[in-house]
Amino acid sequence: MREAPAYTEYHPKWHRIRTSTYWWLGQRAYLKFILRELSSLAVAFFVVITLLHIRALTQGPEAYAEFEAWLRAPLLIALNVVSFCFVLFHAITWFNLAPKALAVRLGGKRMPDFVITALNYVVWLAVSAGVAWFVLGG
C-alpha cells in the first residue's frame, strides 16, 4: 500500500496594507506625535550652536564678538525662536508623561499623577533658576 504523501502546513504571506509615508497626516494625534519626535532636531540644533559657542570662546575675544554678532542675525533669531518653541513643547509633554513612566508608591499607595507632574515642573523651574543665576554671574 502506498504511503500517504507527507503533509506540510501551507502559510501564505499575511496580507498587510502598505503604510503610506504620510500616515502621520491622517490624524491630529499622529501629527502631534511626529512633531514631538521632530523636536529632537531642535535639541541637536542647540548642541551644534553650543559647540560653535565653545569654539568661539577658545579662539579669542574677536572671534567671540563675531560669534555673538552672528547670533543676532535675523535668520539665527528665527531659528532660535522655532527651536525654543519645539524644546518647550518637548519639555512640557515629557513632564506631563512622567506619571505614566514613574509609578511612585508611598506607604503602599500610588502617588497621584498630578503630584509627580507638579514635582517635575518644580524641579525644572528650580534648575532653570539655578542655571540663570550661575550664567548671569550671581
Q: Does 26 bind other proteins (CB under 8 A)?
A: no
Q: Does 102 bind other proteins (CB under 8 A)?
A: no
Q: Does 118 bind other proteins (CB under 8 A)?
A: no
Find out whether 110 and 103 touch, Cβ atoms under 8 Å: yes
Compute the least distance from the CB of residue 41 to other proteins, in Å: 7
β-pairing, 105-106 vs 109-110, is antiparallel
| Chain-centre distance for alpha carbon 53 | 22
Span between the terminal Cα atoms of the chain, in Å: 98
Contact residues for 117 (Cβ-Cβ < 8 A; gap 6+): 95, 96, 98, 99
Q: Does 47 bind other proteins (CB under 8 A)?
A: yes
Q: Does 88 bind other proteins (CB under 8 A)?
A: yes
Q: What are the residues binding other proteins (CB under 8 A)?
A: 19-21, 23-24, 34, 37-38, 40-41, 43-44, 46-51, 53-55, 57-58, 61, 64-65, 68, 71-72, 76-77, 80-81, 83-84, 87-88, 90-91, 94-95, 123-124, 127-128, 131-132, 134-137
